[in-house]
Amino acid sequence: MGWRAANRSDLDWIEVLLFAHIEGSMFLIGNLRNHGFGSDHPHGLTLWVRETRDGVFAITNTGSVMMMAPGCGNAEWQDAGQLLGPREVTAVIGNAAQVRSFIAANGLQDHPCQLDRDEPGFVLDVAELAVEIRPDENIIPLADAPRALIEEWRAAYEVEAVNASPDQAQEKARRDIAQYIARDSHRVLLVEGRPVAMAGHNTAFAEAVQVGGVYTPPALRGRGYARRVVGRHMLEARARGATQGVLFAASEEAARAYRSIGFRRAGTFALVLFARPAQIRAGHVRRCT
């Protein structure tokens, strides 16, 4: 059985599938809940499903391909690629095995990339959250932190985490911080009133949150600030009723920090950002100029 366009009657089983594989599905869940499919929002989705109800494939309006279809092989991923027609693909993100299979099936493996990275995934049952709270530390909303400083941190994060150029990073940092403040999605850790680290929830809904944007300036690393800001922010999510947390670790040091507060290993996540868009056409890739 092949792919077909999704319709609203599919949403219930789609959510069951995505939550069963939450470590690779948070972006899909968040985009579906926030924007649905057929929306003209940049994160709005065009969505296809497997007739057998065991797979979901999507592309955002800005060209990010996402999927959760554990049983698909090469032929199914080729068919999925053909669904995109002339649309530009700017990124492929999701479960690493599925991302790599999709890229290989559609001849994208040699397309120039800004970032091409697999990261270990982690999930948290918030009932098992273990947080160290120190009397000289506190967390505050991003809106209450020095704006210039957190924009500087965010720009540094973009350069370090996704290989953005300094000019691109500064512009994106300004936009990101404005959005985070509007959504109240990020927190800053203070030690004796001094900002030392930042973390956020990139995707958040009633049941679960996805941790992201964790940043500690290089000179302040190795002191446990990242795990404590993540942990204290997760306490807020638990108080609101969330039962799960999801994140991806960029380094073994980060992984150790997340394990220390209760996260456990779950799958691998791939983030592939193309340096320029690609188009998949009739079984081959035509690179855009």
Q: Is 155 part of any domain?
A: yes
Q: Is 244 part of any domain?
A: yes
Q: Is 61 part of any domain?
A: yes
168 & 222 share domain = yes
48 & 136 share domain = no
pTM for this structure? 0.84
Number of domains in the chain: 2
99 & 154 share domain = no
Q: What is the pLDDT of residue 287?
A: 44
Q: Is the pLDDT of residue 289 over 50?
A: no
Q: Is 124 part of any domain?
A: no
Q: Is 72 part of any domain?
A: yes
60 & 142 share domain = no
pLDDT single digits (tens) 126-175: 999 999 999 999 999 999 999 999 999 999 999 998 888 999 999 999 99
Q: Is 150 part of any domain?
A: yes
Mean of the per-residue pLDDT values of the chain: 93
pLDDT single digits (tens) 247-286: 999 888 889 999 999 999 999 999 999 999 999 976 554 4
Q: Is 125 part of any domain?
A: no
109 & 204 share domain = no
User: What phi, psi does 204 have (nearest 5°)?
Assistant: -145, 135
- Structural domain containing residue 112: 3-119+270-287
196 & 169 share domain = yes
Report the length, in residues, of the chain.
Answer: 289
Q: In whole angstroms, give the CA distance from residue 281 to residue 272.
A: 20
DSSP labels, 91-126: EEEEEHHHHHHHHHHTT-TTS-EEEEEEEEEEEEEG
Q: What is the pLDDT of residue 253?
A: 87
Q: In whole angstroms, give the CA distance from residue 36 to residue 211.
A: 22
166 & 239 share domain = yes
Task: Tell me how far CA of residue 278 lies from CA of 9, 112, 237, in angstroms.
Answer: 32, 9, 38
160 & 179 share domain = yes
140 & 220 share domain = yes
Q: Is the pLDDT of residue 40 over 50?
A: yes
Task: Tell me how far CA of residue 179 lies from CA of 54, 82, 182, in angstroms.
Answer: 34, 34, 5
87 & 30 share domain = yes
252 & 135 share domain = yes
DSSP assigned state of 87: P
Helix, strand or coil, per DSSP, at residue 221: coil
